[in-house]
Structure 1
Amino acid sequence: MRGMEELPLNQTQKVRLQRALESLSAGTNSVTVADTIPVNQEDAILKGHGTTVLDGEVVATVCGVIERVNKLVYVRTLRARYKPEVGDVVVGRVIEVAPKRWKLEVNFSQHAVLMLSSMNLPDGIQRRRTQVDELNMRSIFEENDVVSAEVRETMRDGGLQLHARSEKYGKLEKGQMLTVSPYLVKKRKHHFSHLEEYGVDLVLGCNGIIWVGEHVEVKDKMIEDEPIPTKPESENNKSQISISLEEQEEAYTPLKTRENICRIANAIRVLSTLGFTITVEVITEIIDMSIKMGVDVHDMLGAEFCVLVAEKEAERRTRRNR
């Protein structure tokens, strides 16, 4: 909710937003520091993270939501650093190409490490990495490249090791990288989504880094390996010119797709500003809402649209709780 302070809200919009937020928080067990947590003193409860005992009462030591698991009572903090777990899908930016490894910025207290041996080579052949592969590391990833990977393990010193042995992981191009609070991205079965209607790929990183980019088709290697019939030199020159033009056309992102990328990215920014959980379903609802209302892409970040999104979310949750 810190982002709302930067929006130029008029008095009417402030009142509407306050009502929507009160409606959203009505059904949650949210607490702030020093709030008393209601418990049955006769039960032998276990006090977990974010709780302490003060004058015989259980008191919250952090801001968050009360969670209960059998006899365990703890407070789940909303704004917290990313805590990596094995199997998490993350998105990061390459900051250094070191011997046999890449170092990535992944919105964590330390840089993550992606070893050369922990990713698929461009030829797709499973083999031992040689000195030639190490010399050609920059042809795979270089500084400032955006990469998707998976957490392989957490080291004793707090470091993070990644791997990208699946075809779905790798370099991300032709899109936008967004950084939000990690708590807004919940861990799910699938963090890679293809919004077919908009021609956009969406990667929701568990570390709070989200990628919105043009959809990339996986090419069939069998077709690429077919022999090319020989042609006269003049025809080869013409084919090279046509191929170069085709490559330029393929590298060009259509205007409609770029507009869709910006619209989806702004929908994510609105959710981040309001502090709402970011899911594919909610993003799609906001996109449809903006299109039906005729809201331009740049107007989605305005105060009025943010208030409308908060009101719609409050209305949706009210209907669901009935």
Structure 2
Amino acid sequence: MFEFTSFRRPPETFSVSSPDNADADMDEDYEDFLESGETKLTWPGESLTSAQDYMRGHGTYVDNEQVIASVTGIVERVNKLITVRAARTRYNPEVGDLVVGRITEVQPRRWKVDANSRQDAILMLSSVNLPGGVQRRKLESDELQMRTFFEEGDLLVAEVQSFFGDGSMSLHTRSLSYGKLRNGQLATVPPILIRRLKSHFISLPCGVDLILGLNGYIWVNKHVKQNEREGEEGFDAEAVYSSRNDEIDESTRAAISRVTNLITVLVSHSIPLTDTILLDAYDWSLEQECDP
């Protein structure tokens, strides 16, 4: 048998104000927020600010001279432009973004890459480093050996170079910091939780490196020194394009698992991922002696 009991509500103090005063208070609160530059989550139908003082951007509309949110997301302001970045959406690329992707298809002189966007990205053969010199011309023999560089299922980190006429991304891996990914684990998070940082390559003191892709793909791997990718001619093709993982000791495996699980916990609470937050979370997990 279940018995339901109603609890007496504690006494409350109510303040009576007119609707005009309520709207004025709301506008003042949002004015303070917009000027402070802090992050605020909004929902569809919420009034953000006056349309007379600000311009509406993506994710908003105007009704009764008020800028109103049309999606659930984070309010952003650039000068007098108010936009709402949707909480759940596909990645919207920009030139210069660092992305982590997976090869889905090998085509003549190009690879198709899943970059968690609305359509696959394109990595041209002319946009990768090849053995024998970075700037040399791509020959027919290179096209015949494309699968020795990248094949279906390979993970890579690249930079958005430009856009094609249909809106798809054109990637490049002309830096030794870019290329095929090995010795790690992939974590997928909503792109909105990845903040734009000065560097998206993060090294933790536990011997683990992080690559925070702006498209929501995060690569967690063991620490790799930059000179390990350099050979006699400044480019070690075997180290860059090898598909075999190195031997990883048990402590490094545990550290990779710990960092990946920390990312999962932070994402479950919709906490934006930055280098500072990840470092603090890792130190806290060690202090609490949490199991990886």
Q: TM-score, normalised by structure 2?
A: 0.77
CA contact (8 A) 2:39 2:76 kept: no
Aligned partners of 1:73 and 1:155: how far apart in 2?
29
Matching of residue 96 in structure 1 with residue 105 in structure 2: yes
Matching of residue 283 in structure 1 with residue 278 in structure 2: yes
Aligned partners of 2:233 and 2:122: how far apart in 1?
34
Aligned-partner residue type, residue 164 of structure 2: M
Aligned partners of 1:31 and 1:116: how far apart in 2?
43
Matching of residue 222 in structure 1 with residue 232 in structure 2: yes
CA contact (8 A) 1:122 1:140 kept: no
Aligned-partner residue type, residue 254 of structure 2: E
Match of 1:209 among 201, 207, 217: 217
Report the RMSD for the aligned CA atoms in angstroms: 2.2
Matching of residue 121 in structure 1 with residue 130 in structure 2: yes
CA contact (8 A) 2:193 2:272 kept: yes
Q: Given the superposition, is the C-alpha separation of residues 132 and 69 from structure 1 closer, same or farther in structure 2, using an over 3 Å criterion?
A: closer
Which residue number corresponds to residue 153 of structure 1? 162
Which residue number corresponds to residue 248 of structure 2? 253
Matching of residue 69 in structure 1 with residue 78 in structure 2: yes
Give 1:37 deviation, angstroms.
2.1
Residues 248-280 of structure 1, C-alpha deviations (whole Å, 9 max, x = no match): xx9311111111111111111111111111112
The worse-fitting range, judged by mean Cα deviation, of 213-222 and 153-162 is: 213-222
CA contact (8 A) 1:100 1:116 kept: yes
Aligned residues: 244
Q: Greater helix share, 1 or 2?
A: 1
Give 1:56 deviation, angstroms.
4.0
Q: Given the superposition, is the C-alpha separation of residues 47 and 130 from structure 1 closer, same or farther in structure 2, using an over 3 Å criterion?
A: same
Give 1:209 deviation, angstroms.
0.4
Matching of residue 142 in structure 1 with residue 137 in structure 2: no
Matches within 5 A, 1:268-307: 268-297=263-292
Aligned partners of 1:65 and 1:221: how far apart in 2?
46
Aligned partners of 2:234 and 2:73: how far apart in 1?
54
Residues 213-259 of structure 1, C-alpha deviations (whole Å, 9 max, x = no match): 1122323423999xxxxxxxxxxxxxxxxxxxxxxxx9311111111
Aligned partners of 1:173 and 1:117: how far apart in 2?
23
CA contact (8 A) 1:37 1:58 kept: yes
Q: Identity over the aligned pairs, expressed in percent?
A: 44
Aligned partners of 1:125 and 1:30: how far apart in 2?
46
Match of 2:59 among 50, 58, 72: 50
- Report the secondary structure of 1:283's partner residue: helix
Aligned-partner residue type, residue 289 of structure 1: W
Which residue number corresponds to residue 21 of structure 2? none
Matching of residue 31 in structure 1 with residue 48 in structure 2: no
Aligned partners of 1:29 and 1:172: how far apart in 2?
35
Matches within 5 A, 1:188-203: 188-195=197-204, 197-203=205-211
Aligned partners of 2:181 and 2:77: how far apart in 1?
40
Give 1:44 deviation, angstroms.
4.5
Q: Given the superposition, is the C-alpha separation of residues 62 and 90 from structure 1 closer, same or farther in structure 2, using an over 3 Å criterion?
A: same
Give 1:45 deviation, angstroms.
3.1
Give 1:103 deviation, angstroms.
1.0
Aligned-partner residue type, residue 35 of structure 1: E
CA contact (8 A) 1:48 1:75 kept: yes
Gaps of 5+ in 2: 1-37, 236-244
Give 1:52 deviation, angstroms.
2.1
Which residue number corresponds to residue 5 of structure 1? none
Give 1:31 deviation, angstroms.
2.2
Which residue number corresponds to residue 261 of structure 2? 266
